[in-house]
Structure 1
Amino acid sequence: MIDRQRGMPTVLGSRIPLVALIQTLAVAEYLNFRHAANALGISQSSVSARVKALEEDLGVLLFERHARGVRLTEAGRHFVERVAVGIDQLDHAVRTAGMVARGEHGRLRVGIHALIPGSFPANLIERYREQHPGIEVQIAESAARESIMQVRANRLDVTFVAGSPELPDCHSRRIWSERLLAVLPSCHPLRDTEGVTWADLTNETFIVRQGGTGPQVHDHIVMRLAGNAPNLSILRFDVERGTLLSMVAQGYGVTIVGESTTLLHTSGVTFLPILDEPEPLAFSAIWSPHNRSPALQSLLDIAGQMSRSGRSI
């Protein structure tokens, strides 16, 4: 159609009431105005008037009327087929939007330092997926600094990091904690002790990862030993957690890990508690205050429930 004042095409679809399309689909289904009206719970005259008005707006005859009912014209058949697809898509969009708003559908992007079977984050993700099967959970593993940047850039909904950082532009909540352990080769002289102190480790060569929690492990070692170990040696390797443990077993050096790492059951190493470590290593959830995702809130709720029940690794 042409807008007579502007001489430009108008978008007719924007002026057609949705109810007119729904009633037209009903008539096309029953091929009878009375039956369609009964199915919709409205008067036959209302349906008839709506369809006639639609035909006039379109400038197209959709139905051929006869004594027993109606028959779709060829133009009507094409119109109804395409409208039916559009109505189905609209209905799906409405239902999906409601499910997303209720946290029943959508996606959740989670940053982690590791997903070790049996650990707190692995159990958390498993429980979340069981309770929210309609949510696609995407996992990203990276160093704490990088994952926090991704939260700020809205590329992650939440990330779990070691420590209890206080960030002015992000929410932070302590979720779980783990004992900090030293990892020594199985042949190490201290292997049969109940634990080690930081003083015991003064002359050791430490190895840490470049990624994951590696930078935080590095800083923690420096904080504990820098004043007492003038020749402190910390080597960084761009390897995965399992490879780092294998390197400890082969004598490259020692390292420190959270207790969940013991779940990897690596051969050739000994895990010993650090006896003078003042408190367990905390792990926190970091998320943007602007993120109103119901899926995120559900994950935080489950994490809180698990944390209150005393779950750690």
Structure 2
Amino acid sequence: MIDRQRGVPIALGSRIPLASLIQMLAVAEHLSFYRAANALGVSQSSVSARIKALEEELGVLLFERNTRGVRLTEAGRLFVERVSAGVEHLDHAVKSAGMAALGERGRLRMGVHGLIPHSFLANLIGRYRDDYPGIDLEIAESTAREAITRLRAGQLDIAFVVGTPDLPDCRSRRVWTEPLVVALSDRHPLAGQEHVTWADLAGETILVRPGGPGPQVHDHILLRLSSRWPAPSILRVGVERASLLHMVGQGFGITLLGEASSLSPVAGVRFLPIADEPEPVVFSAVWSPFNQSAALRNLLDLADEMRRERGIAAAPA
């Protein structure tokens, strides 16, 4: 169709009110102007006027009228099929937008240092998926530094890291804590004890990963053992958690981890608490202050709820 005033093509659909299409579908369903008007809660004259105006706009007859009612013409049948599909798509789009605004549909990208079965983070993810099945949850495993870099680049919505980072361009919140435990071979001389002390660990070879709790654990070891003799040997190993524990089981050294690691038994490895360690390992959530995602807000709210259930003290956001 050509706009006579401007001489350019225009879309006919842009000139048809949505109400006219909805009333046309109602007449096609009921094959009666009277019943369609009752179903829509409008007057019969209004429906008749709209259908007539629609037919004039299209230049085709949609309905054949007679004393017994109306029936669709072939042009009307084809038009109803296409409009019905379009209205269904529009309805789906409106509902999807509403669900996205509530955080019930969409995507959430999460960065983690690792997932341990039955840990706080694994349970949080499990409950979130149960509560919000319409959210596509994307999980990326990386070091804390890599996760923060991706967060700043807009490639992640939230990152869970060890410690309480002080980042001027991000918000963070302490989510959960875990006591520190030592993992050692079940053949180690200390393996038969119920717990160890820091003095017991002096002189040990301690394996530390560059990712996960590794950097914080490294600093913690220096804090606790720097004045003890013999001094510990700290060995950095660029392996994943499973390989690290396998090395421990093979007697390459010991390592320190959050207590959640002991929830998944590893053959040949014993986990022992450190009796004189007063500070738990802290895990925090980090996100951009500009991220207004409802899906992110719902995850943070659920994490707070689980934290309160476990009696973990909160830290300022």
Would you call these one fold, judging by a TM-score over 0.5? yes
- SS at structure 1 position matched to 2:207: strand
Pairwise mapping of residues 92-103 of structure 1 onto structure 2 (< 5 A)? 92-103=92-103
> What is the match of residue 249 of structure 1?
249
How much does 1:163 deviate? 0.4
> What is the match of residue 166 of structure 1?
166
Looking at structure 2, the residues matched to 311 and 264 of structure 1 have their Cα atoms a distance apart, in angstroms, of: 23
Amino acid at match of 1:237: G
Looking at structure 2, the residues matched to 214 and 3 of structure 1 have their Cα atoms a distance apart, in angstroms, of: 69
Pairwise mapping of residues 94-173 of structure 1 onto structure 2 (< 5 A)? 94-173=94-173
Looking at structure 2, the residues matched to 282 and 186 of structure 1 have their Cα atoms a distance apart, in angstroms, of: 27
- Answer yes or no: is the 8 Å Cα contact 1:143–1:213 preserved in 2: no
How much does 1:241 deviate? 1.3
How much does 1:305 deviate? 1.9
Looking at structure 2, the residues matched to 162 and 19 of structure 1 have their Cα atoms a distance apart, in angstroms, of: 56
How much does 1:220 deviate? 4.3
Looking at structure 2, the residues matched to 37 and 60 of structure 1 have their Cα atoms a distance apart, in angstroms, of: 22
CA offsets 1:159-198 (integer angstroms, 9 cap, x no match): 2111011111111111111111222222222333454444
- Tell me how large the CA RMSD over aligned residues is: 2.4
CA 1:219–1:3 in structure 2 vs 1: closer, same or farther (change >3 Å)? Answer: farther
- Answer yes or no: is the 8 Å Cα contact 2:205–2:233 preserved in 1: yes
- Answer yes or no: is the 8 Å Cα contact 1:175–1:285 preserved in 2: yes
Identical residues among aligned pairs (%): 62
Pair 1:91-2:91 in alignment: yes
CA 1:231–1:215 in structure 2 vs 1: closer, same or farther (change >3 Å)? Answer: closer
CA offsets 1:201-224 (integer angstroms, 9 cap, x no match): 443333233544444444544555
Aligned pairs, how many?
A: 311
TM-score by length of 2: 0.88
Any stretches of 5+ residues in structure 1 without a counterpart?
none
Amino acid at match of 1:234: L
Looking at structure 2, the residues matched to 219 and 16 of structure 1 have their Cα atoms a distance apart, in angstroms, of: 69
How much does 1:309 deviate? 2.5
**Which segment is superposed worse, 129-138 or 180-189?**
129-138
- SS at structure 2 position matched to 1:190: coil
Pairwise mapping of residues 232-247 of structure 1 onto structure 2 (< 5 A)? 232-238=233-239, 240-247=240-247
How much does 1:13 deviate? 1.4
TM-score by length of 1: 0.89
> What is the match of residue 23 of structure 1?
23
Looking at structure 2, the residues matched to 41 and 155 of structure 1 have their Cα atoms a distance apart, in angstroms, of: 49
> What is the match of residue 69 of structure 2?
69
Pairwise mapping of residues 1-313 of structure 1 onto structure 2 (< 5 A)? 1-221=1-221, 232-238=233-239, 240-310=240-310
Looking at structure 1, the residues matched to 130 and 188 of structure 2 have their Cα atoms a distance apart, in angstroms, of: 43
